[in-house]
Structure 1
Protein backbone atom coordinates (compact mmCIF):
# COMPACT_ATOMS: atom_id res chain seq x y z
CA UNK A 1 0.00 0.00 0.00
CA UNK A 2 1.19 3.53 -0.76
CA UNK A 3 2.23 5.93 1.97
CA UNK A 4 -0.50 8.49 2.65
CA UNK A 5 0.37 12.14 3.32
CA UNK A 6 -1.98 14.89 4.44
CA UNK A 7 -2.12 17.55 1.71
CA UNK A 8 -3.63 20.93 2.60
CA UNK A 9 -5.90 22.27 -0.16
CA UNK A 10 -7.34 25.77 -0.38
CA UNK A 11 -10.37 26.41 -2.56
CA UNK A 12 -9.85 29.69 -4.40
CA UNK A 13 -13.31 29.45 -5.96
CA UNK A 14 -16.46 27.98 -4.41
CA UNK A 15 -17.02 25.94 -7.61
CA UNK A 16 -13.64 24.19 -7.28
CA UNK A 17 -13.58 20.42 -6.87
CA UNK A 18 -11.03 18.84 -4.53
CA UNK A 19 -8.82 16.31 -6.42
CA UNK A 20 -9.95 12.69 -6.20
CA UNK A 21 -8.40 9.30 -6.90
CA UNK A 22 -10.29 7.12 -9.36
CA UNK A 23 -9.39 3.84 -7.70
CA UNK A 24 -7.67 2.40 -4.64
CA UNK A 25 -4.32 2.05 -6.42
CA UNK A 26 -4.41 5.17 -8.62
CA UNK A 27 -1.13 7.10 -8.51
CA UNK A 28 -2.67 10.27 -9.95
CA UNK A 29 -5.45 12.34 -8.42
CA UNK A 30 -7.84 13.85 -10.94
CA UNK A 31 -7.81 17.63 -11.34
CA UNK A 32 -11.11 19.26 -12.28
CA UNK A 33 -11.88 22.25 -14.49
CA UNK A 34 -13.19 25.19 -12.47
CA UNK A 35 -15.26 27.04 -15.07
CA UNK A 36 -18.37 29.21 -15.09
CA UNK A 37 -19.34 27.70 -18.45
CA UNK A 38 -18.00 25.25 -21.00
CA UNK A 39 -15.01 26.35 -23.09
CA UNK A 40 -14.01 25.26 -26.58
CA UNK A 41 -10.40 24.57 -27.47
CA UNK A 42 -9.69 24.79 -31.20
CA UNK A 43 -7.21 22.45 -32.94
CA UNK A 44 -3.66 23.54 -32.17
CA UNK A 45 -4.85 25.95 -29.46
CA UNK A 46 -3.68 25.98 -25.84
CA UNK A 47 -5.96 27.31 -23.09
CA UNK A 48 -5.06 27.85 -19.44
CA UNK A 49 -7.77 25.98 -17.54
CA UNK A 50 -8.35 26.93 -13.91
CA UNK A 51 -8.75 24.32 -11.19
CA UNK A 52 -9.71 26.83 -8.50
CA UNK A 53 -7.39 25.22 -5.95
CA UNK A 54 -4.01 25.85 -4.36
CA UNK A 55 -2.18 23.32 -2.22
CA UNK A 56 0.74 22.73 0.11
CA UNK A 57 2.89 20.00 -1.35
CA UNK A 58 5.27 18.58 1.29
CA UNK A 59 8.94 19.59 1.20
CA UNK A 60 10.97 17.09 -0.82
CA UNK A 61 8.03 16.36 -3.12
CA UNK A 62 6.64 17.87 -6.32
CA UNK A 63 3.20 17.72 -7.88
CA UNK A 64 3.53 16.38 -11.43
CA UNK A 65 0.61 17.26 -13.69
CA UNK A 66 0.06 14.59 -16.35
CA UNK A 67 -2.52 14.03 -19.08
CA UNK A 68 -5.54 11.90 -18.33
CA UNK A 69 -5.28 9.00 -20.75
CA UNK A 70 -8.98 9.03 -21.66
CA UNK A 71 -9.07 12.77 -22.37
CA UNK A 72 -5.87 12.58 -24.42
CA UNK A 73 -6.87 9.53 -26.47
CA UNK A 74 -10.55 10.39 -26.99
CA UNK A 75 -10.43 14.18 -27.33
CA UNK A 76 -6.76 14.88 -28.09
CA UNK A 77 -6.52 17.18 -25.04
CA UNK A 78 -3.35 17.05 -22.92
CA UNK A 79 -1.09 19.47 -21.04
CA UNK A 80 0.86 21.58 -23.54
CA UNK A 81 4.06 21.23 -21.53
CA UNK A 82 3.60 17.42 -21.38
CA UNK A 83 4.28 17.32 -17.62
CA UNK A 84 3.63 20.32 -15.41
CA UNK A 85 5.66 20.69 -12.22
CA UNK A 86 4.15 22.17 -9.05
CA UNK A 87 6.95 22.94 -6.60
CA UNK A 88 6.54 22.50 -2.84
CA UNK A 89 6.92 26.26 -2.24
CA UNK A 90 4.25 27.28 -4.80
CA UNK A 91 1.03 28.54 -3.23
CA UNK A 92 -0.81 29.91 -6.27
CA UNK A 93 -3.64 28.37 -8.23
CA UNK A 94 -2.89 25.14 -10.02
CA UNK A 95 -3.74 25.65 -13.67
CA UNK A 96 -3.45 23.29 -16.62
CA UNK A 97 -2.24 24.52 -20.02
CA UNK A 98 -4.58 22.24 -21.98
CA UNK A 99 -3.62 21.81 -25.64
CA UNK A 100 -5.80 20.41 -28.42
CA UNK A 101 -3.57 18.02 -30.38
CA UNK A 102 -6.49 16.89 -32.54
CA UNK A 103 -8.09 18.13 -35.76
CA UNK A 104 -11.48 19.09 -34.30
CA UNK A 105 -12.54 21.66 -31.72
CA UNK A 106 -13.12 20.10 -28.29
CA UNK A 107 -15.29 21.28 -25.42
CA UNK A 108 -14.30 21.21 -21.75
CA UNK A 109 -17.21 21.28 -19.33
CA UNK A 110 -17.25 22.74 -15.80
CA UNK A 111 -16.07 20.11 -13.28
CA UNK A 112 -14.66 17.90 -16.07
CA UNK A 113 -11.52 15.96 -15.14
CA UNK A 114 -8.75 17.66 -17.14
CA UNK A 115 -5.46 16.23 -15.84
CA UNK A 116 -4.02 14.14 -13.04
CA UNK A 117 -1.63 15.12 -10.28
CA UNK A 118 1.02 12.70 -9.04
CA UNK A 119 2.83 13.73 -5.86
CA UNK A 120 6.36 12.36 -6.10
CA UNK A 121 9.66 12.67 -4.21
CA UNK A 122 12.61 14.24 -5.99
CA UNK A 123 16.37 14.53 -5.58
CA UNK A 124 18.18 17.86 -5.69
CA UNK A 125 21.46 17.57 -7.59
CA UNK A 126 24.58 19.47 -6.64
CA UNK A 127 26.27 19.99 -10.01
CA UNK A 128 30.05 19.86 -10.35
CA UNK A 129 31.90 20.77 -13.53
CA UNK A 130 34.57 18.19 -14.39
CA UNK A 131 36.96 17.65 -17.29
CA UNK A 132 36.00 13.99 -17.86
CA UNK A 133 33.02 11.74 -17.13
CA UNK A 134 33.23 8.05 -16.23
CA UNK A 135 33.10 5.55 -19.13
CA UNK A 136 30.09 3.33 -19.83
CA UNK A 137 29.28 0.72 -22.48
CA UNK A 138 26.81 3.12 -24.09
CA UNK A 139 29.07 6.16 -23.96
CA UNK A 140 27.73 9.14 -25.89
CA UNK A 141 25.30 7.11 -28.03
CA UNK A 142 22.12 9.15 -28.40
CA UNK A 143 18.60 8.62 -29.71
CA UNK A 144 18.08 5.04 -30.87
CA UNK A 145 21.67 4.01 -30.21
CA UNK A 146 20.70 1.06 -27.99
CA UNK A 147 18.01 -0.34 -30.32
CA UNK A 148 18.44 -3.00 -32.97
Structure 2
Protein backbone atom coordinates (compact mmCIF):
# COMPACT_ATOMS: atom_id res chain seq x y z
CA UNK A 1 0.00 0.00 0.00
CA UNK A 2 1.28 3.46 -0.90
CA UNK A 3 2.13 5.62 2.09
CA UNK A 4 0.30 8.58 0.53
CA UNK A 5 -2.97 6.62 0.89
CA UNK A 6 -2.35 6.14 4.64
CA UNK A 7 -0.80 9.48 5.54
CA UNK A 8 -2.59 12.76 4.97
CA UNK A 9 -0.67 16.05 4.77
CA UNK A 10 -2.22 17.12 8.09
CA UNK A 11 -0.70 14.08 9.80
CA UNK A 12 2.91 14.80 8.85
CA UNK A 13 4.36 17.42 11.14
CA UNK A 14 7.46 18.82 12.73
CA UNK A 15 7.15 18.85 16.52
CA UNK A 16 8.39 21.68 18.65
CA UNK A 17 11.17 21.06 21.18
CA UNK A 18 10.33 19.78 24.63
CA UNK A 19 8.40 16.61 23.84
CA UNK A 20 8.55 13.51 26.00
CA UNK A 21 7.66 10.00 24.85
CA UNK A 22 4.22 10.33 26.45
CA UNK A 23 3.61 13.76 24.92
CA UNK A 24 4.71 12.51 21.47
CA UNK A 25 2.23 9.63 21.68
CA UNK A 26 -0.49 12.06 22.80
CA UNK A 27 0.35 14.34 19.87
CA UNK A 28 0.12 11.44 17.43
CA UNK A 29 -3.25 10.45 18.89
CA UNK A 30 -4.58 14.00 18.75
CA UNK A 31 -3.51 14.47 15.10
CA UNK A 32 -5.19 11.23 14.06
CA UNK A 33 -8.30 11.98 16.12
CA UNK A 34 -8.63 15.53 14.74
CA UNK A 35 -8.40 14.34 11.17
CA UNK A 36 -10.76 11.40 11.63
CA UNK A 37 -13.58 12.88 13.69
CA UNK A 38 -15.05 9.51 14.64
CA UNK A 39 -11.88 8.56 16.54
CA UNK A 40 -11.38 9.39 20.19
CA UNK A 41 -7.82 10.65 20.79
CA UNK A 42 -7.79 9.04 24.25
CA UNK A 43 -8.66 5.65 22.75
CA UNK A 44 -5.91 6.10 20.15
CA UNK A 45 -3.43 7.04 22.88
CA UNK A 46 -4.39 4.01 24.96
CA UNK A 47 -3.84 1.69 21.98
CA UNK A 48 -0.32 3.11 21.54
CA UNK A 49 0.40 2.82 25.27
CA UNK A 50 -0.82 -0.79 25.34
CA UNK A 51 1.67 -1.65 22.60
CA UNK A 52 4.51 0.26 24.30
CA UNK A 53 3.89 -1.72 27.51
CA UNK A 54 4.75 -4.87 25.54
CA UNK A 55 8.10 -3.33 24.61
CA UNK A 56 9.36 -0.13 23.08
CA UNK A 57 8.66 0.49 19.42
CA UNK A 58 11.92 2.44 19.18
CA UNK A 59 13.79 0.44 16.52
CA UNK A 60 17.08 2.29 16.81
CA UNK A 61 19.00 4.98 14.93
CA UNK A 62 16.58 7.66 16.15
CA UNK A 63 13.48 5.92 14.75
CA UNK A 64 10.28 4.70 16.42
CA UNK A 65 7.27 2.92 14.92
CA UNK A 66 4.50 3.24 17.51
CA UNK A 67 1.37 1.38 16.48
CA UNK A 68 -1.99 0.21 17.74
CA UNK A 69 -4.99 -1.84 16.69
CA UNK A 70 -8.52 -0.53 16.91
CA UNK A 71 -11.93 -2.15 16.52
CA UNK A 72 -13.66 0.99 15.25
CA UNK A 73 -11.64 1.77 12.11
CA UNK A 74 -11.94 0.22 8.67
CA UNK A 75 -8.64 1.32 7.14
CA UNK A 76 -5.11 2.07 8.39
CA UNK A 77 -4.24 5.59 9.50
CA UNK A 78 -0.68 6.91 9.69
CA UNK A 79 0.99 9.85 11.43
CA UNK A 80 4.58 10.96 10.88
CA UNK A 81 6.39 13.29 13.28
CA UNK A 82 9.88 14.72 13.06
CA UNK A 83 10.99 16.06 16.42
CA UNK A 84 13.16 19.18 16.53
CA UNK A 85 14.91 17.58 19.50
CA UNK A 86 15.34 13.83 19.92
CA UNK A 87 13.41 12.37 22.86
CA UNK A 88 14.15 9.43 25.16
CA UNK A 89 12.07 6.52 23.88
CA UNK A 90 13.60 3.37 25.39
CA UNK A 91 14.74 2.35 21.89
CA UNK A 92 16.59 -0.93 21.44
CA UNK A 93 19.89 0.89 20.90
CA UNK A 94 19.31 3.21 23.88
CA UNK A 95 19.44 6.32 21.66
CA UNK A 96 16.77 9.03 21.66
CA UNK A 97 14.21 9.20 18.83
CA UNK A 98 13.46 12.07 16.45
CA UNK A 99 11.53 10.30 13.66
CA UNK A 100 8.22 8.68 14.61
CA UNK A 101 6.02 6.85 12.13
CA UNK A 102 2.79 5.83 13.87
CA UNK A 103 0.20 3.47 12.48
CA UNK A 104 -3.32 2.64 13.60
CA UNK A 105 -4.91 -0.40 11.95
CA UNK A 106 -8.17 -2.34 12.17
CA UNK A 107 -7.97 -5.19 14.66
CA UNK A 108 -8.34 -7.84 11.97
CA UNK A 109 -5.78 -6.39 9.51
CA UNK A 110 -2.76 -8.26 10.90
CA UNK A 111 -0.98 -8.95 7.60
CA UNK A 112 -1.51 -5.43 6.27
CA UNK A 113 -0.31 -4.03 9.60
CA UNK A 114 2.90 -6.03 9.55
CA UNK A 115 3.58 -5.34 5.87
CA UNK A 116 3.12 -1.58 6.31
CA UNK A 117 5.37 -1.47 9.37
CA UNK A 118 8.02 -3.51 7.58
CA UNK A 119 7.89 -1.23 4.52
CA UNK A 120 8.21 1.91 6.63
CA UNK A 121 11.03 0.41 8.69
CA UNK A 122 12.87 -0.42 5.48
CA UNK A 123 12.37 3.13 4.17
CA UNK A 124 13.61 4.63 7.42
CA UNK A 125 16.67 2.38 7.50
CA UNK A 126 17.97 4.28 4.46
CA UNK A 127 20.52 6.76 5.84
CA UNK A 128 20.02 9.27 3.01
CA UNK A 129 16.26 9.28 3.47
CA UNK A 130 16.60 9.84 7.21
CA UNK A 131 19.18 12.56 6.68
CA UNK A 132 16.83 14.35 4.27
CA UNK A 133 13.85 13.95 6.64
CA UNK A 134 15.88 15.41 9.49
CA UNK A 135 16.72 18.46 7.36
CA UNK A 136 13.08 19.26 6.55
CA UNK A 137 12.08 22.68 7.80
CA UNK A 138 8.30 22.62 7.32
CA UNK A 139 5.37 20.19 7.33
CA UNK A 140 4.79 20.32 3.54
CA UNK A 141 8.39 19.43 2.81
CA UNK A 142 8.25 16.61 5.36
CA UNK A 143 5.06 15.17 3.85
CA UNK A 144 6.39 15.37 0.30
CA UNK A 145 9.60 13.60 1.22
CA UNK A 146 8.07 10.84 3.34
CA UNK A 147 5.47 9.97 0.71
CA UNK A 148 7.83 9.75 -2.29
**TM-score normalised per structure 2:** 0.29
More helix per residue: 2
Q: Which has the larger radius of gyration?
A: 1
Q: TM-score, normalised by structure 1?
A: 0.29
